[in-house]
């Protein structure tokens, strides 16, 4: 068997194109330009690249973006005051504080300051509560939403499937598990203390790896015909003095046993940014009392 490679880049581009069309219509008919404020603290190279990409994608889709770049030694109070100011601005519909934060700034304190209606990362306790409580109106974390889109590109009805999510973080693993539960999967969350992880994975019709360990998931962990979504982003030596990105799954080996698999790069990563734009669009419509667009 050779698995279908799920082209996250193309699927994300199609989604962004749809968002761009909707934004164009909103600007014309409602005089509404969705706006995203991104707060970046310090000079973490990965965060800088992610933020640059988010801002660029906003511009491509016609959203307004603003970057607030604060020094690494900024005081927590100053970050909180900035977020309070952004909460009050009519031209800012989404607020994203790029993680990780320096040690003197508590992520929980900053995230809880964001107006839940503008919390486009979906990390605020109100949005977490809505998602896990099955209540309407949640802004759902972008990466797991993106994974679900990718799964839907190869299979629409997930009802009854055995899904295994490796990783229990609040930003990927847990919300991913909840979204799959909402799709009527039988969900197992595996983690660093799980006993016999390979055996757990072998039971999965749908395997989501969100760990951060290069190529941890081996060929014989994968049930023949499974759909495999690789969230991991790991930089490893390329053997020629440089480096390259790999996922949490041994991609080349998995290709021979899975029915569909996402590559790294070009799988989940581009979807995360596309869903951020979509969350910002949705947040803007809700704040204006406009029906949510179908994108």
Q: Which two tokens stand for residue 236?
A: 């490893």
Task: For ligand NAD, give the closer residue by CB, 21 or 132.
Answer: 132
Compute φ and ψ for 134, nearest 5 degrees: 70, 30
Q: Segment 251-280, which members bind ligand NAD (CB under 6 A)?
A: 268-269, 272
Choose, by CB under 6 A, the member of 166, 208, 257, 284 that binds ligand NAD: 166
121 counts as catalytic: yes
CA distance 113 to 103: 18
54 counts as catalytic: yes
Residue 243, interface with ligand NAD (CB under 6 A)?
no
Contact status, residue 40 vs residue 47, Cβ threshold 8 Å: yes
CA distance 185 to 164: 9
Residue 186, interface with ligand NAD (CB under 6 A)?
no
Stretch that binds ligand NAD, among 11-19, 53-61, 179-187, 206-214 (CB under 6 A): 206-214
Residue 168, interface with ligand NAD (CB under 6 A)?
yes
Stretch that binds ligand NAD, among 71-79, 82-90, 211-219, 274-282 (CB under 6 A): 211-219
- Sign of the torsion formed by the C-alpha atoms of 110, 149, 210 and 138: positive
Residue 245, interface with ligand NAD (CB under 6 A)?
no
Choose, by CB under 6 A, the member of 171, 245, 253, 295 that binds ligand NAD: 171
90 counts as catalytic: no
- By CB under 6 A, the count of residues binding ligand NAD is 24
Contact status, residue 122 vs residue 139, Cβ threshold 8 Å: yes
Distances (CA, A) of 193 to 176, 219, 234: 19, 21, 21
Spatial CA neighbour of 164 closest among 222, 214, 213: 222
In the complex, which residues of this chain contact ligand NAD (CB under 6 A)? 143, 166-169, 171-173, 190-192, 194, 197, 210-213, 231-234, 268-269, 272
């Amino acid at each position: 068997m050779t698995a279908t490679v799920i082209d996250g880049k193309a699927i994300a581009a199609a989604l962004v194109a749809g968002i761009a069309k909707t934004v164009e219509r909103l600007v014309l008919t409602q005089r509404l330009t969705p706006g995203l404020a991104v707060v970046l603290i310090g000079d973490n190279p990965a965060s800088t690249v992610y933020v640059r990409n988010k801002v660029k994608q906003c511009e491509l889709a016609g959203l307004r973006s603003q970057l607030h770049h604060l020094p690494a030694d900024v005081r927590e109070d100053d970050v909180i005051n900035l977020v309070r100011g952004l909460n009050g601005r009519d031209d800012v519909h989404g607020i994203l504080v790029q993680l990780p934060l320096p040690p003197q700034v508590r992520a929980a304190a900053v995230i809880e300051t964001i107006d839940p209606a503008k919390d486009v990362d979906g990390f605020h306790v109100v949005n977490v509560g809505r998602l896990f409580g099955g209540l309407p109106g949640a802004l759902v974390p972008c990466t797991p939403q993106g994974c679900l889109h990718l799964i839907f590109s190869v299979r629409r009805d997930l009802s009854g499937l055995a899904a295994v999510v490796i990783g229990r973080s609040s930003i990927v693993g847990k919300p991913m598990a909840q979204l799959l539960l909402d799709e009527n999967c039988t969900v197992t969350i595996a983690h660093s203390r799980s006993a016999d992880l390979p055996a757990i994975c072998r039971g999965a019709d749908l395997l989501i790896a969100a760990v951060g360990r290069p190529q941890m998931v081996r060929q014989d962990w994968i049930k023949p015909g499974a759909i495999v979504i690789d969230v991991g982003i790991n930089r490893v030596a390329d053997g020629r003095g440089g480096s390259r990105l790999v996922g949490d799954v041994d991609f080349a080996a998995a290709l021979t046993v899975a029915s569909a698999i996402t590559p790294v790069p070009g799988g989940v990563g581009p979807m995360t940014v596309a869903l951020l734009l979509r969350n910002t669009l949705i947040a803007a419509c809700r704040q204006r009392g406009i029906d949510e667009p179908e994108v």
